[in-house]
Chain A
């Protein structure tokens, strides 16, 4: 979040309320549970780190939302570095995979039932993401983000199909043996 806030200040100096509105617009339903005060906490941290500076405060000192922040040269450098950084948010598949392996090995639970329960949960999430995506105006930034959420859930569901096929084969073989 710190990097995103910094990058938004690259356009022009701005105050917390404006930054928060821009964030909410880009995130849509994904930004709904963002704490309203979070942006001010983030700005205060960035100021302490010397990445932004408070340009002016039009209004009363006890109203932090009126403080206008600008990037410092260090802040600009960090934005440039962030933009060129290549990353991949890691999908956490290993935990569920190990759960299946352990459950089968110790006969703690039927892997097929674990897969079915996991599929139900993902489908509920997909339903929520799908409904949110259909409710967004086509072409909005938030709709594009939701499309990404939907596609990742679809990929996870397809992997669960592969898990089901593989573990049902294991079941058949152990029954036949």
Chain B
């Protein structure tokens, strides 16, 4: 794989918690390349290190060892301010608990990262409006998060993650707090993003979410134990479920 085509790249990535006997390697020597436009799902039991991995890839935490590259730029060696600026502009985060600002309306929540990235208020408003429309919430733009359902809040959070045209969207258990219908709404949005060529890394324990991805990595005890390509493997088996004769 051409290095320049990888939006996210990690090499020899290690994250260690604690010292001496109590030392735990949450992420243990991981190599990863996510090419542009790929939707990657990371699955594994709780405590396998998948959330820590996402935090390392998105520059929310720093590795104990190894390298993290974002679109050809090494980020684990950046200073705090440069890293914060890069995160704001290049990475869109979606969390299980939504992490919306409760005092701000849906539209204001979406506008905020655009303003922080230095866009004009007018441009931020324009972007927020079009993104809320894209996730089907233009009618709720003035609602506070407390006036929205869980599924709607997560859609606002997804719109917020997209407001600065990020290189990559990183989602940590995005459907963990959602019921089936809201999960399907979120999956439809991720599917639209994938079709539009957005690079996505999604950490999940939900098989449905994982199955939407192009590629699935399984993690156990901080390590990758399986790396499967799911895209383009259609077998037409659904049509075969109804037998030719009864």
Contacts and interface: CB of A to CB of B under 8 A. Distances in A.
A127 B230 contact: yes
Contacts of A3: 246
Interface string A26-40: 010111111100100
A52 interface: no
Interface stretch (B83-91, B113-121, B136-144, B203-211): B203-211
B238 A129 contact: yes
Say whether chain A's binding surface is mostly helix, strand, loop, or mixed.
helix
Q: How large is the interface on B (under 10, 10 to 19, 20 to 34, 35 or more residues)?
A: 20 to 34
Contact of A33 (B228, B242, B245): B242
Given A29-B238, A130-B212, A120 B226 contact: yes
Contacts, number: 85
Interface residues of A, number: 36
Given A35-B244, A130-B187, A134-B184, A149 B238 contact: yes
Contact of A123 (B184, B207, B244): B207
B246 A1 contact: yes
A153 interface: yes
Contact of B239 (A2, A31, A42, A130): A31
A128 B246 contact: no
Say whether chain B's binding surface is mostly helix, strand, loop, or mixed.
mixed
Given A35-B244, A134-B184, A134-B187, A128 B238 contact: yes
Contacts of A2: 246
A130 B211 contact: yes
Contacts of B234: 124, 128
B131 to A, nearest CB: 20
A52 to B, nearest CB: 15
Nearest to B41: A123
B240 A157 contact: no
A124 B191 contact: no
A107 to B, nearest CB: 21
A9 interface: no
A2 B234 CA distance: 29
Interface string A106-146: 00000000001001100111111111111000000000001
A161 to B, nearest CB: 8
A33 B212 contact: no
A119 B218 CA distance: 11
Contacts of B235: 124-125, 128
Interface in A125-177: 125-134, 146, 149-150, 153-154, 157-158, 161
A32 B187 contact: no
Nearest to A160: B207
Contacts of A132: 238
B188 interface: yes
Interface of A: 1-3, 27, 29-35, 38, 42, 116, 119-120, 123-134, 146, 149-150, 153-154, 157-158, 161
13 contacts: A2-B246, A29-B239, A31-B242, A32-B236, A38-B245, A124-B234, A127-B213, A127-B231, A130-B212, A131-B212, A134-B187, A158-B207, A161-B45
Interface of B: 45, 184, 187-188, 191, 207-208, 210-213, 216, 218, 225-226, 228, 230-231, 233-246
